[in-house]
Structure 1
Amino acid sequence: MQQKSLYGGVLLKAKEILDFISKCETSPTLKEISNHVSITKPTVLKILTTLEYCDFIRCVGNPKQYYLGLTFLTYAQKAKTSFNLDRIAMPFINNLRDKTTEAVNLGILENNSIALLDRAQSTNTIRLDLQLGGHMSMYSSAMGKAILACFPREKIEDYLDRTALIKLTEKTITNRDDILNELVKTKKRGYSLDIGENQDGICCIGFTIKKNSDVLGAYSISAPIYRVNDSKLNLWIKEGLDTQRKIEAAV
């Protein structure tokens, strides 16, 4: 295949600089950047100045150290929300539903809550149907707890500071320390549990969908508690984790 002719060599140079900054464990100086990219030091400085003007980077200190700018957070959030996760994930989620016979819900993080993006309905006669586009609290739902467990401690604390922890059922965990302990357990075992915490009589197991270290969304197996036993729970966890591996390999 003939290689495409690219326009705008300075963009490629800027990308090389940004890639280097993003991979550094500590924020690099001009000298460190110019020593590690295939660009002359004067050109590196000109590009850095332009990137700083555009808020793509920021520099602090003496000597100056360069950081990625907050503009990339806006771009990242837009990329996540426009990413067609359901198109990729739903074939795997439908297969998980077939193996468990229970409902499997797909959700994304939206305004500090979980928005239901899509679902595979249970094949059982008695089933729970959630409203697409509806929202669930992160601290009480399986998908929400799975995503929260991926956050750094400071971000979890910030979420708890700004969220009213309301008891949705008798089993909803609203004590801050208990929530933090539950998230530690969730992170360690690789899945979350909601045993009647978000809705009375409903058991959910939650799993995240990640690309590298970015959380793209989550899904949960949901069933009435009376249909759940240890044997089924262990099977659903096994199949849920297997589905997670397959989705993450496809995104």
Structure 2
Amino acid sequence: MARRRKQDPDDTASGGSARVEEERDYSVRAVERVCLILNLLQESVDGITLNEVAQTTGLPKSSAFRYLWTLESHRYVERDEERGLFRLGLGFVGMQSRHLEILRERARPSLAALRDEFGETANLGLLDGDHVIYIDIVESRRGVRLAAARGDHDPLHSTALGKAIAAHLPEDRVRSLLETTGLPPRTSSTITSLDDYLDELAKVRRAGYAVDNGENEEDGRCVAVPLLATHLPAAISVSGPASRFSMQDVKRVAKTLIEVAAGIATNPLTEER
């Protein structure tokens, strides 16, 4: 940033010997580099590599990595270990942001259709820190139903939404998240071993959907699928009382959920024109 200084009469009288520079450069090199990195991330859909960051900023790779690591620690950058890519993180995505509003708007008709087809509650969830936050909920019309409230948080390890999201995170990130929260038993069916949970995530990847079979609530059952094409750690689910939402129903609902997830717009960060 530059600031122009008005000319002082004394400066003129002294022949300019007391004049300060008219233009002052207040830019900070480190901040400029952070801005370059964030601009680069914002322009990329799939993510950027460490080499791209180094080339754009003119930094050595070791220094570029330290910038990215710091941004990641504050949730402004998310790392894909398997592909060696960095993306914008959720530090920029608040509950009131237009980005999530667009995702919610695009998903809501599908959630309503799921509720009407199966008679159970449909949910949209997002990874928020080390828990899942409910971004939108379309409740079942039945008197007895399973439903959280919008803005509520639930554990990553005991919910179908959490499993669907965690199954597509790098394993070291899952381990880190669960080291923070632990795997406390919510019910007698909750998975409380990290190794067992990682085995469960492998099953989720193979099947394409996740199931909470009385693991978060004793009489609850839920099935969820990730919204992979959105490039956000998000998932949709259908949940209901286990007394009427059987495992046979779960398979049928899962098939529809997979189709619905594929039909949701691929880029929630781009506003429709």
TM-score (norm 2): 0.67
Q: How many residues align?
A: 209
State the alpha-carbon separation in 2 of the partners of residues 90 and 223 from structure 1: 18
Matches within 5 A, 1:16-95: 18=40, 27=51, 48=56, 51=57, 58-60=59-61, 69-70=67-68, 71=71, 74=76, 75-81=88-94, 82=97, 83=99, 84=101, 85-95=103-113
Q: 2:184 corresponds to which residue?
A: 166
Q: 1:236 corresponds to which residue?
A: 253
Gaps of 5+ in 1: 1-13, 34-47, 53-57
Q: Is 1:131 aligned with 2:149?
A: yes
In 2, are the aligned partners of 1:147 and 1:215 still within 8 Å (CA)? Answer: no
State the alpha-carbon separation in 1 of the partners of residues 137 and 129 from structure 2: 20
SS of the residue corresponding to residue 264 of structure 2 reads helix
Q: 2:236 corresponds to which residue?
A: 219
Q: 1:122 corresponds to which residue?
A: 140
Runs of 4+ in 1 over 4 A off after TM superposition: 17-20, 22-26, 65-69
SS of the residue corresponding to residue 123 of structure 1 reads coil
Identity of aligned residues (%): 26
State the alpha-carbon separation in 2 of the partners of residues 28 and 109 from structure 1: 27
| Alpha-carbon shift at residue 78 of structure 1 (Å) | 3.9
Q: Is 1:153 aligned with 2:171?
A: yes
1:27 counterpart letter in structure 2: N
| Alpha-carbon shift at residue 130 of structure 1 (Å) | 1.5
| Alpha-carbon shift at residue 24 of structure 1 (Å) | 7.5
| Alpha-carbon shift at residue 160 of structure 1 (Å) | 2.3
In 1, are the aligned partners of 2:214 and 2:220 still within 8 Å (CA)? Answer: yes
SS of the residue corresponding to residue 139 of structure 1 reads coil
State the alpha-carbon separation in 1 of the partners of residues 66 and 111 from structure 2: 36
In 1, are the aligned partners of 2:130 and 2:178 still within 8 Å (CA)? Answer: no
State the alpha-carbon separation in 2 of the partners of residues 201 and 24 from structure 1: 44
In 2, are the aligned partners of 1:148 and 1:183 still within 8 Å (CA)? Answer: yes
Q: 2:215 corresponds to which residue?
A: 197
